[in-house]
Amino acid sequence: MSLNVIALGGNAILEKDPSDQAQKETVQKAAKYIADFIESGEQVVICHGNGPQVGNLLLQQKAANGEKNPALKLDSCVAMTEGSIGYWIQNALSNEFLRRNIEMPVVSMITQVRVDEEDPSFKNPTKPIGPFYTKDEAVNETKDGSVFKEDAGRGYRKVVPSPMPQEIVEKKAVQQMVAGGILPVCAGGGGVPVVLKEDRFEGVEAVNDKDFSAKVLAENIDADQLIILTGVDNIYINFNTPKQKALETISVSEAESYISEGHYAAGSMLPKIEAAIAFVKNNPRRKAIITSIENLKRIKEGAGTTVVSG
């Protein structure tokens, strides 16, 4: 039995229809694949993204902002979406386990992730959140001081600071849940970013990258595998060109070489590969797999792209 941290992308949950019901239905489909994986004998901890969801929540906060109903800050919005998406996953898995007679409690927990107050990202926001805009729409949205950047050729999105996660504050609670046969859903949206100031943690205006938080979570609980689920079956080089090639098993050195050759966009596949490299580097026991959720049950057969030490 291996201990696996599964990172489920926020864009995979919100595909086209941003309604509450549509996102729940997408999570219900994902729950079936995760349950299959667990039935194969694997231990699982789940974390998830929230980029589209927290961006949409910020728009709602902005639209309703007023003296009697002031908009909440970004760290609170991250916690709110961590709670809502965590509930969807918890509910979907609990129902799937009930149908299969799997006796495994599922608990979603609001997770704080410690970051460095001096992280350079606070001066250079890069993390895209929320919906896509045309260039003209993005220019109009910058009037409130928001920063927009093009996201992998798909349009413009608001960007916010994304400091590098350092530690899962509740890591011992996660370990205790796993030891007790509980499936934790944690570090949602990368977790709520907090800085340690003397004797207290304080939330900051930022969004942690889900893939890097998943990597830190996997390290903190000594997981065997980090599984990053995305919209494609494999990592590719020369993507969307006649020379496109799916990668299967690659070493750290090969992955780093592909990064240096510029194969991956900063706001898309790059953080997934960097997180995979950081997790397995100098540790032959560990594996990192990047693939689609449909391929989850086929990972043991070699599906997806596996990054190994070397």
Cα distances (angstroms) measured from residue 243 to each of 56, 147, 230, 238, 304: 37, 35, 22, 6, 19
Catalytic residue, candidates 158, 171, 215, 272: 272
Helical ranges in the chain per DSSP H:
10-13, 20-39, 51-64, 74-100, 135-141, 171-179, 210-220, 252-260, 270-280
Per-residue tokens: 207: 């969004």
Catalytic residue, candidates 9, 127, 189, 297: 127
Residues 177-186, mean pLDDT to the nearest whole number: 97
Q: What is the pLDDT of residues 241-250, one digit of tens each?
A: 899 999 999 9
> Residue 267's pLDDT band (boundaries 50, 70, 90)?
low
Gap between the Cα atoms of 14 and 172, Å rounded: 31
pLDDT value at residue 257: 95
Q: Are 140 and 156 in contact (CB under 8 A)?
A: no
Is 144's pLDDT higher than 80? no
> Percent of the chain beyond pLDDT 70?
99
pLDDT value at residue 200: 96
The alpha carbon dihedral of 128, 131, 135, 136 has a sign of: negative
Catalytic residue, candidates 11, 91, 95, 234: 11
Residue 216 backbone phi and psi in degrees, to 5: -65, -40
Is 12's pLDDT higher than 80? no
Buried b / exposed e over 130-141, threshold 16 CB at 10 Å, is bbebeeeebeeb
Helical ranges in 158-310 per DSSP H:
171-179, 210-220, 252-260, 270-280
Gap between the Cα atoms of 187 and 45, Å rounded: 10
Residues 64-89, mean pLDDT to the nearest whole number: 93
Q: If you average pLDDT over each of 91-95, 195-199, 236-240, which comes out highest?
A: 91-95
Is residue 210 part of the annotated active site? The answer reads yes
pLDDT value at residue 169: 98
> Residue 163's pLDDT band (boundaries 50, 70, 90)?
very high
Residue at token pair 């969307």: 240
Is 155's pLDDT higher than 80? yes
pLDDT value at residue 108: 97
How is 122-137 classified by DSSP, letter by letter? GTS--EEEEEEE-HHH
Gap between the Cα atoms of 139 and 154, Å rounded: 16
pLDDT value at residue 145: 75
pTM for the full model? 0.89
Is residue 51 part of the annotated active site? The answer reads no
The top-level CATH class assigned to 3-114+165-308 is alpha beta
Is residue 9 part of the annotated active site? The answer reads no
pLDDT value at residue 141: 77
Is residue 10 part of the annotated active site? The answer reads yes
Is 131's pLDDT higher than 90? no
Beta bridge partners of 246: 236
Amino acid present at 232: V
**Residue intervals in the chain for CATH 3.40.1160.10:** 3-114+165-308
> Percent of the chain beyond pLDDT 90?
70
> Alpha carbon 9 to chain centroid distance?
5
